[in-house]
């Protein structure tokens, strides 16, 4: 009798529950995670990060770094966020980009507060006005941030999948069976590969005070991991105050388009500086060749306009790409749109063609109506030459920075142009103590093997300086002595 009574009671309860609508959607997530009363949070951990767009091989996985410290402080009310990360060398030996090889740990501190963004760690805060939107978006992509943003945006109150706007991006959120944020997905734009899917997964939730927070955070971009964190400490409603520094508040708004400056470094030879990177414009008898089209299409457009004003009688016929890292190939599509031939190493060709065929819905595409790009390749060596000028292009075999890396040498002017190895610092300083010598040493060894005789270097990430500066920066004593005694 007692068993039958319990069974009947259980059936009545089940029917009653079936007649009620269980809370779900963002509102249910807010209850399950404690988001409603959460105004700020600090969390920290460690793990690994990966440098997006800096693969060792074209189309390969991003290079790995050790994250010794990852500490975030978020104020959901202002909104504001401070992210401090300490990275160490993760690839042994170093392979790929991302600023490696590291000679010592690298600390970055990125902050956003309201409509202002800046970086810390230098003599004074450095304004980053162009980074405001991306950093604000990161606030609303945190586990509790997506819930708050979804509720504020009127996301549907039912279902375990909902969508909201974070700035100008559509963000899709998936909840697990406990109504905890499990997966966040959205698109970003990249000038090389177009639309890039980003996925952040949150797992292994635990209770921290009145909230639940994931102890594992994994992010992928374009299918490859960019971040894998284990969270060790979480402080809900911590005191987070991120006042905007005076010099940041008074900083001018970012320019609508990059500004390009031009400096003559030889007869018919100019260094072009725009958006923090440099190219060389080389004048031939009836055309111009640009050595490197980095950063963005907007930068390439600005650079090309300056070149055409300087040499109005000659068309730009070629752009030489040193390698397929996204910061170095980011401006190539503008050249494609203008019908200019791209020259790159043969191993980069298929990757660039595949990348340029991908969807581009997030941002406008300057090369949309231009058809297939014209790409010519270099195997071991190629010479661009006429009666006025010679430019020698060499592949760097077995170079650890990128498998498809080229250097350019102008024998008459004795100028060596390259993408990455040594970035001359500003002022009179020569050494770069944060960076190891491996990549520079490999390039110098190739220069010696080819019996080149450079007097100056023209790096993409730095101004034109004497070749001996590169040698002195890494204590390559034999090469320094040889350079000085020439």
Cβ contact 426:388 at 8 Å: no
Question: Does some domain include residue 206?
Answer: yes
Residue 171, CB half-sphere, CA atoms under 13 Å: how many? 29
Of 187, 217, 249, the last residue of a domain is 249
Question: Does some domain include residue 332?
Answer: yes
Question: Does some domain include residue 15?
Answer: no
Nearest CA-CA partner of 82 in 94, 70, 65, 96 = 70
Provide the pLDDT for residue 254.
85
**Confidence band of 154 (pLDDT split at 50, 70, 90):** confident
Whether residues 365 and 409 fall in one domain: yes
Of 222, 249, 276, the last residue of a domain is 249
Question: Does some domain include residue 376?
Answer: yes
Whether residues 278 and 409 fall in one domain: yes
Q: CATH number of the domain at 283, please.
A: 3.60.15.10
Question: Does some domain include residue 14?
Answer: no
Determine how β-strand 269-274 pairs with β-strand 224-236: unpaired
* Residue 21 in this model has a pLDDT that exceeds 50: no
CB under 8 Å to 129, separation ≥6 — which residues?
A: 116, 117, 251, 252, 253, 254
Percent with pLDDT over 70 in the chain:
92
Whether residues 179 and 65 fall in one domain: yes
* Residue 12 in this model has a pLDDT that exceeds 80: no
Provide the pLDDT for residue 159.
83
Whether residues 239 and 267 fall in one domain: no
Domain that holds residue 134: 22-249
Name the burial class of residue 307, with classes exposed (0-12), middle (13-18) and buried (19+) by CB atoms within 10 angstroms of its CB: buried
Provide the pLDDT for residue 476.
85
Question: Once rounded to an integer, what is the mean pLDDT over residues 294-303?
Answer: 97
CA atoms of 304 and 298, how far apart (whole Å): 10
Provide the pLDDT for residue 276.
94
What does the pLDDT look like over 205-235, one tens digit per residue?
999 999 999 999 999 999 999 999 999 999 9
H or E element at residue 455: none
Domain count, the chain: 2
CA atoms of 465 and 432, how far apart (whole Å): 14
What does the pLDDT look like over 398-442, one tens digit per residue?
899 999 999 999 999 999 999 999 999 988 899 999 999 999 999
CB under 8 Å to 403, separation ≥6 — which residues?
A: 56, 57, 58, 347
**What is the pLDDT of the chain when averaged over all its residues?**
92
CA atoms of 64 and 169, how far apart (whole Å): 27
Of 249, 274, 308, the last residue of a domain is 249
Whether residues 144 and 215 fall in one domain: yes
Whether residues 235 and 321 fall in one domain: no
Nearest CA-CA partner of 194 in 368, 347, 75 = 368
What does the pLDDT look like over 48-102, one tens digit per residue?
999 999 999 999 999 999 999 999 999 999 999 999 999 999 999 999 999 999 9
pLDDT top residue among 482 and 341: 341
Provide the pLDDT for residue 16.
36
CA atoms of 151 and 173, how far apart (whole Å): 12
What does the pLDDT look like over 317-363, one tens digit per residue?
999 999 999 999 999 999 999 999 999 999 999 999 999 899 999 98
Whether residues 358 and 231 fall in one domain: no
Cβ contact 413:83 at 8 Å: no
Provide the pLDDT for residue 151.
93
Residue 58, CB half-sphere, CA atoms under 13 Å: how many? 22
pTM, entire model: 0.91
Token output for 441: 């040493």
Whether residues 386 and 266 fall in one domain: yes
Q: CATH number of the domain at 134, please.
A: 2.50.20
Whether residues 395 and 473 fall in one domain: yes
Percent with pLDDT over 90 in the chain:
85
Whether residues 266 and 242 fall in one domain: no
């Amino acid at each position: 009798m007692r068993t039958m009574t319990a069974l009947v009671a259980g059936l009545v309860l089940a029917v009653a529950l079936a007649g009620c609508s269980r809370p779900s959607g963002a509102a249910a997530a807010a209850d399950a995670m404690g988001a409603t009363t959460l105004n700020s949070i600090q969390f920290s951990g460690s793990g690994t990060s990966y440098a997006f767009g800096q693969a060792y091989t074209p189309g390969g996985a991003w290079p790995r770094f050790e994250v010794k410290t990852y500490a975030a402080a978020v104020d959901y009310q202002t909104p504001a966020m401070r992210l401090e990360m300490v990275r160490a060398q993760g690839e042994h030996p170093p392979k790929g980009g991302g600023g490696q090889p590291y000679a010592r740990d690298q600390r970055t501190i990125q902050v956003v507060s309201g409509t202002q963004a800046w970086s810390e760690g230098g003599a004074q805060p450095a304004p980053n006005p162009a980074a405001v939107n991306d950093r604000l978006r990161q606030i609303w992509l945190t586990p509790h941030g997506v819930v708050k943003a979804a509720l504020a945006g009127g996301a549907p109150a039912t279902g375990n999948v909902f969508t909201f706007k974070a700035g100008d991006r559509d963000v899709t959120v998936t909840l697990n069976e406990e109504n905890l944020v499990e997966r966040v997905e959205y698109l970003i734009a990249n000038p090389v590969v177009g639309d890039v899917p980003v996925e952040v997964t949150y797992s292994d939730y635990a209770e921290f005070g009145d909230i639940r927070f994931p102890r594992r955070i994994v992010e992928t971009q374009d299918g490859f991991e960019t971040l894998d964190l284990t969270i060790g400490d979480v402080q809900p409603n911590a005191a987070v105050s991120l006042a905007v520094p005076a010099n940041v508040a008074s900083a001018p708004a970012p320019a609508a388009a990059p500004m390009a400056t031009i400096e003559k470094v030889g007869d018919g030879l100019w260094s072009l500086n725009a958006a923090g990177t440099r190219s060389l414009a080389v004048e031939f008898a009836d055309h111009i060749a640009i050595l490197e089209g980095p950063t963005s299409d907007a930068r390439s457009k600005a650079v090309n306009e300056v070149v055409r004003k300087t040499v109005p009688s000659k068309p730009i016929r070629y752009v030489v790409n040193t390698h397929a890292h996204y910061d170095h190939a980011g401006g190539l599509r503008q050249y494609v749109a203008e019908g200019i031939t791209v020259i790159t190493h043969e191993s980069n060709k298929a990757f660039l063609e595949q990348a340029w065929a991908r969807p581009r819905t997030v941002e406008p595409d300057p090369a949309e109506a231009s058809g297939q790009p014209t790409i010519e390749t270099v195997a071991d060596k190629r010479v661009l030459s006429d009666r006025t000028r010679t430019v020698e292009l060499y592949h760097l075999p077995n170079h650890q920075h990128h498998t498809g890396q080229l250097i350019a040498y102008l024998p008459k002017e004795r100028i060596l142009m390259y993408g990455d190895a040594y970035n001359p610092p500003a002022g009179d300083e020569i050494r770069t103590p944060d960076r190891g010598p491996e990549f520079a040493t490999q390039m110098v060894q190739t220069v010696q093997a080819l019996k080149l005789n450079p007097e100056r270097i023209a790096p993409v990430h730095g101004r034109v300086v004497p070749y001996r500066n590169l040698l002195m920066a890494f204590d390559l004593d034999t090469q320094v002595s040889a350079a000085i005694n020439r």
